[in-house]
């Protein structure tokens, strides 16, 4: 019952399957697609196949890193173009100015938020940064850990909190780019009316996602929604995905908007209902596989996953 409530509160699950002709058309377009490295700043695809999916060891602050300074409490950035670097923040990192860069920063028990006031502060770049649960922290609710839009995230690690990336504010914030990042979202200690996701779109603009990993860990009968959740009925627009490893959730991958999906890897058995809940008829391209994980946490292909649903709500 807990799982059913978490999946359906404010949402409608799709039912009808694609027609055979539509499914075959998507499968045909996907057959020539490979997962490749993409320079999203220029839009050019390299000939080299994508590197391994990120892990906890190569995302977030580097191994052996130590902060230059520790801040106890919220840290607010008010000057445009500021570079925040080598801090440990025991609280929230509030971005109150545009074009801020965050590098090698450890946010403990809080969130990164570039829309804390009346204006979304776009142009945010976050690199090699960790957002994690604090020792002894009691978690509850499903407030986003990384909010709200108009940002670029590279090798960001979200670890142990009950919500992950939020993609929103499409008109005020602009598009979002996430590359080589890893989010592990875990059921909160106080479950309540939790609908956690490792990434959720809500009024989200164009999302570009490259070679990243999203995981939803549910415990104590406290069920969330999905590692990846970008539904059509929450004002979202479009996705461009090339390389995404997902595990857990009711459905591990839920998508209702137009877009392109290649290099999707769904971990076998990690889902409650099924691997995907997608409005397949609106996609330009589709290529996905059911996988298992090897000892290094890398996907090993078991079978192809056709786009054979018409949901994504």
Sequence ranges of the domains in the chain = 2-304
User: Over the stretch 109-132, which tens digit does the pLDDT of each residue have?
Assistant: 999 999 999 999 999 999 999 999
d(CA 256, CA 279): 5
Q: How far is CA 23 from CA 20, 32, 279, in A?
A: 5, 15, 11
Give residue 51's pLDDT: 59
Give residue 76's pLDDT: 98
Pairing mode, strands 36-39 and 44-49: antiparallel
**Long-range contact list for 38-42, CB < 8 A, 24+ apart?**
38/210, 38/242, 40/177, 40/179, 40/208, 40/210
d(CA 212, CA 182): 6
Task: Please check the confidence at residue 311 and state whether its pLDDT lies above 90.
Answer: yes
Least-confidence region, from 39-48, 84-93, 211-220, 269-278: 39-48
Give residue 313's pLDDT: 87
Give residue 165's pLDDT: 98
User: Over the stretch 188-201, which tens digit does the pLDDT of each residue have?
Assistant: 999 999 999 999 99
* DSSP-derived 3-state class of residue 16: coil
Give residue 44's pLDDT: 40
Residue 309 and residue 284 in contact, taking contact as beta carbons nearer than 8 Å: no
User: Over the stretch 32-89, which tens digit does the pLDDT of each residue have?
Assistant: 333 333 334 434 443 334 459 999 999 999 999 999 999 999 999 999 999 999 999 9
Give residue 32's pLDDT: 36
User: Over the stretch 126-184, which tens digit does the pLDDT of each residue have?
Assistant: 999 999 999 999 999 999 999 999 999 999 999 999 999 999 999 999 999 999 999 99
d(CA 80, CA 98): 5
Which residue, chain included where needed, has tokens 């002894």? 136
Task: Please check the confidence at residue 100 and state whether its pLDDT lies above 80.
Answer: yes
User: Among residues of the chain, what percentage have pLDDT more than 70?
Assistant: 84
What mean pLDDT is reported for the chain? 88
Residue bearing the bigger pLDDT, 20 or 97: 97
Residue 269 and residue 237 in contact, taking contact as beta carbons nearer than 8 Å: no
């Amino acid at each position: 019952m807990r799982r059913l409530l978490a999946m359906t509160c404010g949402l409608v699950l799709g039912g009808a399957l694609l027609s055979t002709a539509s499914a075959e058309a998507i499968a045909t377009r996907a057959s020539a697609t490979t997962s490749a490295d993409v320079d999203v700043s220029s839009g050019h695809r390299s000939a080299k196949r994508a590197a391994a999916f990120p892990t906890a060891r190569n995302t977030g602050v580097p191994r052996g890193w130590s902060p230059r300074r520790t801040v106890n409490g919220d840290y607010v950035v008010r000057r445009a173009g500021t570079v925040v670097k080598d801090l440990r923040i025991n609280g929230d990192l509030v971005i109150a100015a545009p074009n801020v860069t965050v590098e090698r920063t450890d946010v403990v028990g809080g969130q990164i938020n570039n829309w804390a006031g009346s204006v979304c502060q776009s142009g945010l770049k976050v690199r090699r940064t960790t957002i994690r649960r604090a020792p002894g922290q009691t978690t509850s609710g499903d407030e986003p850990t990384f909010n709200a839009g108009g940002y670029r995230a590279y090798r960001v690690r979200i670890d142990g909190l009950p919500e992950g990336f939020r993609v929103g504010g499409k008109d005020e914030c602009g598009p979002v780019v996430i590359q080589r990042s890893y989010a592990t979202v875990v059921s909160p200690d106080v479950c309540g009316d939790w609908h956690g996701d490792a990434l959720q779109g809500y009024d989200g603009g164009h999302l570009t996602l490259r070679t990243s990993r999203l995981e939803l860990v549910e415990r104590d009968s406290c069920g969330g929604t999905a590692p990846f959740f970008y539904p059509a009925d929450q004002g979202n627009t479009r996705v461009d995905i090339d390389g995404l490893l997902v595990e857990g959730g009711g459905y591990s991958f839920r998508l209702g908007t137009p877009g392109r999906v290649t290099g999707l890897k769904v971990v076998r058995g990690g889902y409650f209902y099924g691997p995907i809940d997608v409005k397949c008829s609106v996609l330009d391209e589709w290529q996905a596989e059911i996988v298992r994980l090897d000892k290094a946490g890398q996907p090993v292909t078991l079978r192809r996953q056709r786009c054979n649903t018409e949901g994504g709500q």
